[in-house]
Amino acid sequence: MRPSALNPLFASAQALTGIGPRLIVLLKKALKLPPGVAEPRVLDMLWHLPTGVIDRRAEPEVASAVPGTIVTLKVRVLKHRAPPRGNNRAPYKVACEDESGRIDLVFFHAERGFVERQLPVGETRYISGRIERYNDVMQMTHPDYIVTPENRADLPLLEPVYPLTAGLSGKILIKAARQALERLPDAVEWQPPSWIEARGWPTFASAVSHLHRPEDAGDVSPGGAPWQRLAYDELLANQLALALVRDNYKAQRGRPVTGDGRIQRRLTTALPFQLTASQSLAVSEIAADMNAPRRMLRLLLGDVGSGKTIVALLAMAIAVEAGAQAALMAPTEVLARQHAETIAPLAEKAGLRIGLLTGREKGKPRAELLSRLASGEVDILIGTHALFQSDVVFRDLAFAVIDEQHRFGVHQRLALQTKGADGGANVLVMTATPIPRTLLMTHYGDLDVSKLTEKPAGRKPIKTTMASTDRLTDVIERIRANVAEGAQIYWVCPLIESNEKSELAAAEERHAHLTQIFGEGVVGLLHGGMSGTAKDKTMAAFAANETKVLVATTVIEVGVNVPNATIMVIEHAERFGLAQLHQLRGRVGRSDRQSFCLLLHVSQLGDTADKRLTMMCETDDGFKIAEKDLELRGGGEVLGARQSGEAEFRIADVPGFETLLEAARDDAKMILATDPRLTSPRGEALKTLLYLFERDEAVQLFRAA
């Protein structure tokens, strides 16, 4: 259980005064809630940080106030001047004064009783807002604040400015954040005082307070000391959690799995090409890990088309040679079936028995497959998240491959691992998203990595060009000519269907348009809104060369493999990120024939979009592209919300991210080297840090031990 002192932070935000059901709905829109959190909590108010400040510290006399500036004035109320009856356009004015002169407070469409209660004649009030000169009279229209001398502290001299949504005011967020600050317990400091002092950083509690109650404009800057301190805390929590989960997994006894090479030799003989040097090295690294007494946890990192599936198959063959079973888990049904189709002919030649299990396998066929799996008649089971269902029982699972690993949560990965003998299996995770070193550390910590750096022999670089959508007619004519010569084409659109607010081409509209040109039966349509059976039918027709053009959304981003398709058209390419463009382009260039990628874009490209598309034309090196993506978009965005898994940061996307990350990684390694169970005073304080940044899986390891 989390420390009871933290419970007030995990209560609903409705526990705060002034926050009711209507505001909760607005807060859900405005706040960046972590995955799985349905309703804003007090803690979420603390992590909703301001983006700037309004400076109300100028407190001149009325006569010396500078028109056009924001000031705070101490005035006495003289007289109310309501507009004539029936004239709603005329303003309601309140005359006030100080020792130096007079000022009119101006209200449009004001409720008279409200203004009179706020500004009783003869009383003193502090007002704050923008002052202007109108017909030689100083005036302030709709003051931002009107407070009594007794409530002077309620007027923020440096007012934090928060990200908002329609209907949600900054005053509500200020009030909620200040209440949340009061619930922050006196947390024991987890950073050594000398270390904080050397960096000029505040304590944790002081950092949070300075962001919501700034004393200087620099306090709310992402480069300022308070924000940098909290960014480091979040990165340290992330690195510590990754290291704890990994070390706990690898510390558990595995079982050495050693193959005799007979199935691997049959597989390499059946391949139509020789393994690349990096493929051979990756297989040997995986084999060495499998043979070790501790559980294996390795990442296979490879660009599109680099041959990860073959490496995974050879590794799974080692487990089968040892008399055990293997599993390959993919995030989508399309990708799982693609893996099965790629592996099946090679498996048949090598004598491997494979099975496929997705959500679509039901009834008697599913029961028969599970029976064969439990008896050991299936050597390799390929599937989706259906693999972790409780009735899926292996006779002896020794090796699991998890593809596109960033799409699975920690709990899902553990659920598959625990189906192995003695509650654990050797695990290989792999991704086709080239990840720069910085993001590798962010999302995986110090995981053992094998990297595929070459493409199979005979593959030609894909020629990539840009064209404006103004030239759409010319593009379609070129496509028609290529179809006549036997080519197959992918045409990718960013939306399933259009709407009034969007001018983007929709897949369904483009499909209808191209069908008019090419005729019925020539153009297929594939998108995420289709049923699994319809998707399979469409893909089968395209793979069999029955349809020549496949109009699709990004559902084809990973896994789809049609070697005969040699042209990729990406419509509104400026709307896609670099990594996604690279993944889409990787659907072609899968044979020894020359392939092409055309990036269709709007006529007026923005600077960043132009740099992205130009980069795509200059290189097909996924790692260079990923580095450029990091440069253009920043560390917090590169993998995107859909792909980033658990490493979404709420605070740490700041200047100096890489330097802070390096320091956090080194700190996490040092902590665990000296205090692996976090039992020291600093270790206990660090458990609080893990709870505050919701890296609870790491804390659960201690409770389970």
CATH (one of 3.90.25.10, 1.10.10.520, 2.40.50.140, 3.40.50.720) for 57-155:
2.40.50.140
* Mean local confidence (pLDDT), 154-174: 92
Q: 610 or 577, which is more confident?
A: 610
> Is the predicted pLDDT of residue 338 greater than 90, yes or no?
no
Q: How confident is the model at residue 444 (pLDDT cuts 50, 70, 90)?
A: low
Q: Measured between alpha carbons, how far is residue 59 from residues 62, 127, 129, 214 in Å?
A: 9, 10, 11, 18
Give CA–CA dist 429/315, Å, rounded. 12
* Mean local confidence (pLDDT), 145-149: 96
- E strand segments, 278-377: 297-302, 325-329, 354-357
Residues forming a β-bridge with 550: 490, 524
Q: How confident is the model at residue 531 (pLDDT cuts 50, 70, 90)?
A: confident
Q: How confident is the model at residue 559 (pLDDT cuts 50, 70, 90)?
A: low
Tokens 């493999």 — which residue? 561
The predicted structure's pLDDT at residue 250 = 72
- Assign a CATH topology to domain 255-452: Rossmann fold (3.40.50)
Give CA–CA dist 176/170, Å, rounded. 10
> Is the predicted pLDDT of residue 566 greater than 50, yes or no?
yes
The SS3 of residue 310 is helix
Out of 159-163, 449-453, 471-475, 557-561, pick the least confident: 557-561
Give CA–CA dist 466/461, Å, rounded. 16
Give CA–CA dist 256/426, Å, rounded. 9
Q: Which span out of 68-72, 253-257, 306-310 was modeled with the highest average pLDDT?
A: 68-72
Q: Among residues of the chain, what percentage have pLDDT more than 70? A: 89
> Is the predicted pLDDT of residue 1 greater than 80, yes or no?
no
Give CA–CA dist 127/646, Å, rounded. 46
The predicted structure's pLDDT at residue 560 = 62
> Is the predicted pLDDT of residue 407 greater than 60, yes or no?
no
For 68, the token pair is 């056009």
Q: Are 266 and 349 in contact (CB under 8 A)?
A: yes
Which residues, in sequence order, are CB contacts of 600 under 8 Å at separation 6+? 467, 468, 469, 472, 475, 569, 570, 571, 572, 573
Q: Which span out of 124-138, 445-459, 503-517 was modeled with the highest average pLDDT?
A: 124-138
Q: Which span out of 260-264, 417-421, 693-697 was modeled with the highest average pLDDT?
A: 260-264
> Is the predicted pLDDT of residue 557 greater than 80, yes or no?
no
Out of 188-192, 318-322, 334-338, 439-443, pick the least confident: 439-443
* Mean local confidence (pLDDT), 505-512: 84
Output phi, psi for 688, to 5 deg. Answer: -60, -40
2-41, pLDDT tens digit by residue? 888 999 999 999 999 999 999 999 999 999 888 778 899 9
Q: How confident is the model at residue 573 (pLDDT cuts 50, 70, 90)?
A: very high
Give CA–CA dist 263/313, Å, rounded. 10
> Is the predicted pLDDT of residue 533 greater than 90, yes or no?
no
Q: How confident is the model at residue 108 (pLDDT cuts 50, 70, 90)?
A: very high
Pairing of strands 102-107, 92-97: antiparallel
Q: How confident is the model at residue 695 (pLDDT cuts 50, 70, 90)?
A: confident
Q: How confident is the model at residue 643 (pLDDT cuts 50, 70, 90)?
A: very low
Which residues, in sequence order, are CB contacts of 92 under 8 Å at separation 6+? 80, 81, 82, 83, 106, 107, 108, 110, 112, 115
Q: Are 519 and 611 in contact (CB under 8 A)?
A: no
* CATH homologous superfamily for the domain 463-619: P-loop containing nucleotide triphosphate hydrolases (3.40.50.300)
Q: Are 464 and 522 in contact (CB under 8 A)?
A: no
Domain ranges of the chain: 4-54+162-220, 57-155, 255-452, 463-619
Out of 98-102, 282-286, 534-538, 680-684, pick the least confident: 534-538
Predicted model pTM: 0.70
The predicted structure's pLDDT at residue 505 = 57
Tell me if 57-155 shares its fold with 255-452: no
Q: How confident is the model at residue 704 (pLDDT cuts 50, 70, 90)?
A: very low
* Mean local confidence (pLDDT), 135-159: 94
Out of 173-182, 406-415, 426-435, 445-454, pick the least confident: 406-415
- E strand segments, 135-215: 137-141, 145-147, 158-161
Q: 154 or 696, which is more confident?
A: 154
> Is the predicted pLDDT of residue 116 greater than 80, yes or no?
yes
